[in-house]
Structure 1
Amino acid sequence: MSTDAVVVGSGPNGLVAAILLAQAGREVVLLEAADQFGGGLRSAELTLPGRVHDMGATVMAMALASPAFRELGISGFDPKEPGSKEPGRRGTDLSGAEVGAVEFAHPEVVAAHPLDDRPAVLVHRDAPRTAAGLGRDAAVWQATVGAAARAGLPLVDLMLKPLGPWEPRPRAFAQAARFGVAAALPVTTLARRAFRTVEGRAVLAGMAAHSMLDLRAPITSGYGLLLGALAHLVGWPVVKGGSQVLADALVARFRALGGEAVSGHRVRHLRELDAETVVLDVTPRQFLAMADLPAGYRRGLERYRYGPGVFKLDWALDGPVPWRDPAVAAASTVHLGGTLEEIALSEAEMARGRHSPRPYVLLVQPYAADDSRGGHTLWAYCHVPNGSRVDMTDAIEGQIERFAPGFRDRVLARHAMGPAELEAGNPNLVGGDIGGGLASLGQFVRRPVWSAAPWRTPLPGVFLCSSATPPGAAVHGMGGWQAARLALSR
């Protein structure tokens, strides 16, 4: 296969890289091993006919905030209005009349955190309204999460481009420095020092636990603060009709630019490709198998650390989840785990290679924002040790029943995927790690090796762009943006 450029893998990063290269006039071929394009953006009927389930990402905060998606005109967010309350305009058109519109649907409540003996904590798009629900912690929320949200997109851009290139924005750098002081702390430390209420500590812990780290680890506060800030800045929407709609629209845009997209084609070694530029949306394990690499670089990749896995369940329900606190029904994202102490214990157990009987559960009810998925579909996962073979169905459903008695009575069908099943469906999910590698401080920028430009490999014209490169996991396309930028500068 002879062409200007080949992109291997059609996750968000691979798709962004392919589009940018094609926009620059390169002849580009996109190769995907699976039958469906999209990687973590795929959707399927996992339970009952007509029920649309997202196999990976559902909530798209990063897609709206991402510099890469904004540059491509995907998010509909106007970077000139960092305080705008309407990012992700309805019917975002990705490339003209030949491409279908993508609609980002926002729930009434961004996220909810139920508690046993008191009302759930609700996170709204409006920061003051959220703060008001935290009582004595209102001012602290505004001074931490609210301040990060008020810093706007310049701060987000710095977080998503940890190695640059940066625009000369002194104010943004000053805000980033202030943010970094709190962000560097373990969330257990920040929550206990700054927040006084059970509610304030719990809601920050629930957000920080997205990191899949022991919450006593450095920078876990940063993950929680950034996600909270995005809730106020851009919201946590879902794609109407399923995440596959976004993947299909990106592929359509790529093809409209003259690119060739081929599914069902697995690349086993780089010698199969004949192109001046090769961009790989794969993690270090796959790259090691695909290429003959210099010894030093190979040793660096072999030292790369993968993070915990997840055990994921999808359900078809006969109605909405019967939450004890009805306000939770308005949120697409729900954090289950109780107090800061309970969540921290659960994540610490997981970090030690154990399975918590009361795990932190991340649950998404897309129907709170999107009524076009064939009924009440639901998914949730908990964190497990990498490669775990333990069935966590009862533990996850037990946590849901804790806050929604009678939940199991609503289940029409369920579908389970442990680490082995997840990796079989997407080899980038090594041991069930949906983050592309441990999200620790040591690997925040050393993804996958120490380098001023880790997207560039020692092989001429070969670049990496997966979530194993900065800035890591989530649907933002920044790995692809960085890799394509370097490839075009050659």
Structure 2
Amino acid sequence: MSPNNITAAGELVMDQDFIIVGSGINSLVAAALLSRKGHKVTVLERNDWIGGCIRTAEVTLPGFRHDVFSGFHPLFVTSPAYGELAEELHANGLDYVNTDKPTAAILPDGRNFILQMDRGKNVAAMEALGEGQGTAYTRSMGDIEQNTDLIFGLLGAELWKFSTLKLLAKAAWNRGLHGMSSFFGLSLNTCRNWLEADFTSDEIKACFAPWILHTGLDPDSPLSGLMGKLISFTLEVAGMPIVKGGSDNLVKALSAIIESNGGRLLTGQDVKRIIVENGRASGVNCADGTSYRAGKAVICNVTPTQLYGYLLDGEYVPEVTRSEAANYRYGNGDMQIHLALDKMPEWTDPALNDVAMVHLSSGVDSVSRSVNQARRGLLPDCSTVVVAQPTALDPSRAPEGKAILWLQLQELPFLIKGDAAGEIPIPADGLWDEATKDAYADRIIDRLSAHIPGLRDMILARHILSPRDLATQNINLVNGDPYSGACGIEQFMLWRPLKSTKNHETPVKDLYHIGASTHPGPGLAGTSGYLVAQNF
């Protein structure tokens, strides 16, 4: 690595090939791949930890290791980045654990359905709930299996490239124009249409409907039907793997690859400005006066709001791009509730005890209703509850005999206008405060207690993150949106993040944009970082 230089002004200037702003999964993937190719890479993180939304901490009690923002990695273990880095990652301590029961849903009356990593068992269980439903599920999975070339080809590639045009041309040749039309028609279908057309069982519909929230969509959004099928396919194939000991072990493994190849990861570096010289991005300035120089490129893992509204001087941003960035939309807010338990939770149906992630939901209508309430500024009266059970897969996350639960609520407003149930007092300024988040968490725990008897007595401590807390802890989680931007079709694929930009390029030469705000969107796969690294 070249030595640091001190300018006359006293600024520390580090000459690197690549400066990467932000240290989330996409940044770490890009840094690992680039450093392995011999490039000099420095990752700059404004927080005091590396990993972005991958963080493990004892936020409740000592010995209870909670994945604070995210925790399951089915998208990463099926990604091209993992395919390329897996051997080194595992050599540096990464170890995944899994279960053959990735997900389930339980209805208010206790009925439930468990999806397993076994097509035959899933089909049989569905047929037991109603003749023809297993056949319908097989047909739905066939929609994915018969179109893997297009689905994974488009989600895993730069869309504005000749190679993607070749992919589409080949698909059109094989399918014919009518076949291509059918595929895109299938893609635009909604999750509601898919579930109501194929299934009569409330349990099956309740199992699949909540998953669409994990894509930043709702059951009535175009594309949600395809995404629902794709998630079901992925869960059946990959399960719900978590990192043994905590997700920060993935961060440590990626960091080890970067540092062993001469790269650097620096915390407490709040980038305030991108340096543009002679029409190209040549470095960044930080809040403490430090400058970092990039000989080849600057890669920013930020939102369009940050990139075009704050980091780049206005003279380098075309008016159309500035306008689009100002109008970039964010989705509903998110709440995380971390529980430290005195013992392993036992559900009313013991079959749920070792499921990775259980949703409390009544199905499509309840998900749609809660999304609508949140968009109108209301605290949902019966929101969809994600119940993740890390210690069911990895007992090392808690002291012996103890357990943790991770609850997630993805249908919340950032600015509160009222409570749909009319029970919780709303702050005068509409902003989440301690009393409001405690009251809402109590509502959720009361509901969960109906399915895990004695839950309240098991709770040793809890840690709650409201949408406001999330926005404070990670600058990319604007308004507490965990997906760094709404994922409706108008802001997805070719148009993510903006209609005036293409691929991960920006209007400034040698400045690249990665992260959940960019194609292919949110999810812990590292794909945007992977794609940018392929350019060098």
What is the TM-score normalised by the length of structure 1?
0.89
Matching of residue 370 in structure 1 with residue 422 in structure 2:
no
Q: Work out whether 1:206 is the aligned partner of 2:230.
A: no
1:38-66 alpha-carbon deviations (Å, 9 max, x no partner): 11111111000011001122111100111
Match of 2:510 in 1: 461
Instruction: Specify the SS of the correspondent of 1:213.
Output: coil
- Contact kept in structure 2, 1:314 and 1:415, CA below 8 Å: yes
- After TM superposition, the structure 1 = structure 2 runs for residues 123-272 of structure 1, keeping only pairs within 5 Å, are 123-135=115-127, 136=130, 137-145=133-141, 147-148=143-144, 155-161=151-157, 163=159, 165-166=163-164, 168=167, 170=170, 180-271=184-275, 272=285
Aligned CA distance change for structure 1 residues 328 and 483 (closer, same or farther; 3 Å)? same
Residue 149 of structure 1 and its aligned partner are, at CA, apart by 5.2
Whether contact under 8 Å (2:108, 2:361) holds in the other structure is: no
Pair 1:320–1:156, CA change in 2 (3 A): farther
Cα displacement string for residues 128-172 of structure 1 (whole angstroms, at most 9, x for unaligned residues): 211221123111111113552576687434334372655859579
Aligned-CA RMSD value: 2.3
SS in 2 for 1:58: coil
1:425 matched to 2:473: yes
CA-to-aligned-CA distance 1:189-238 (integer Å, 9 cap, x gap): 22112212212222221222323433222112222111111012222211
1:473 lines up with 2:500 in the alignment? no
Aligned counterpart in structure 1 of residue 452 of structure 2, from 404, 408, 413? 404
Residue 423 to residue 354, structure 1, CA distance change in 2 (3 Å): same
Can you give the 5+ residue segments of structure 1 that lack an aligned partner in the other structure? 75-91
Distance (whole Å) between structure 2 residues aligned to residue 109 and residue 153 of structure 1: 27
Residue 23 in structure 1 maps to residue 44 in structure 2: no
User: 1:213, 1:351 within 8 Å by CA — same for their partners in 2?
Assistant: no
Aligned residue number for residue 103 of structure 1: 95
2:469, 2:74 → 1: CA distance? 26
Aligned to 1:9: 22
In the TM superposition, what are the counterparts of 1:280-429 in structure 2 within 5 Å? Answer: 280-287=300-307, 288-292=309-313, 293-294=316-317, 295-374=319-398, 375-382=402-409, 383-388=411-416, 389=432, 390-391=436-437, 392-429=440-477
Q: Deviations over 1:326-355 (max 9, x none)?
A: 111111111111233222222222233322
Deviation at 1:483, TM superposition (A): 2.4
State the alpha-carbon separation in 2 of the partners of residues 33 and 377 from structure 1. 29
Output the CA distance in 2 between the equivalents of 1:264 and 1:127. 47
Query: Which ranges in structure 2 are unaligned for 5 or more consecutive residues?
Result: 1-12, 276-284, 286-291, 417-431
Note closer, same or farther for the CA distance 1:189–1:14 as it changes in structure 2 (3 Å cut). Answer: same
Residues 177, 400 of structure 1: CA spacing in aligned structure 2 closer, same or farther, 3 A cutoff? farther
Scaled by the length of structure 2, the TM-score of the pair is 0.82
149 and 73 in structure 1: CA distance in 2 versus 1, 3 angstrom threshold: farther
Change (3 A) 1:259 1:112: same
Question: What is the rounded CA distance, in whole Å, between the counterparts of 2:148 and 2:186 in structure 1?
Answer: 17
State the identity as a percent: 29
Does 379-388 or 457-466 show the bigger shift?
A: 379-388
SS in 2 for 1:270: strand
Deviation at 1:109, TM superposition (A): 0.8
Q: Whole-Å Cα distance in 2 between the matches of residues 150 and 52 of structure 1?
A: 41
Give the residue type in structure 1 aligned to 2:154.
L
Equivalents in 2 of 1:126, 1:120: separation in Å? 18
- Give the 3-state SS of the residue equivalent to 2:240 in structure 1: coil
SS in 2 for 1:275: strand
Q: Structure 1 residue 94 and structure 2 residue 86: aligned?
A: no
Q: Give, in whole Å, the separation in 1 of the partners of 2:34 and 2:502.
A: 18
**Equivalent of residue 73 in structure 1, options 85, 93, 98:** 85
C-alpha contact (below 8 Å) 1:41/1:243 kept by paired residues: yes
- The 3-state SS of whatever aligns with 2:503 is coil
Partner residue in 2 for 1:82:
none
Letter in 2 for 1:448: P
Matches of 1:289 and 1:162, distance apart in 2: 26
* Offset at residue 402 of structure 1 (A): 3.3
**CA distance in structure 1 between the partners assigned to 2:263 and 2:474 by the alignment:** 23
Q: In structure 1, the residue corresponding to 2:117 is in which secondary structure? A: coil
Deviation at 1:398, TM superposition (A): 2.8
Q: Is the 8 A contact 1:13 1:465 kept in 2?
A: yes
Q: Give the SS at the match of 2:259.
A: helix
The offset of 1:93, in angstroms, is: 3.7
Which residue is 1:485 aligned to? 534
Separation of aligned partners in 1, 2:330 and 2:479: 8
- SS for the counterpart of 1:232 is helix
What are the superposed Cα offsets for residues 411-466 of structure 1, whole Å, 9 maximum, x if unpaired?
11000111121122111111111101001111112222125733111112111111
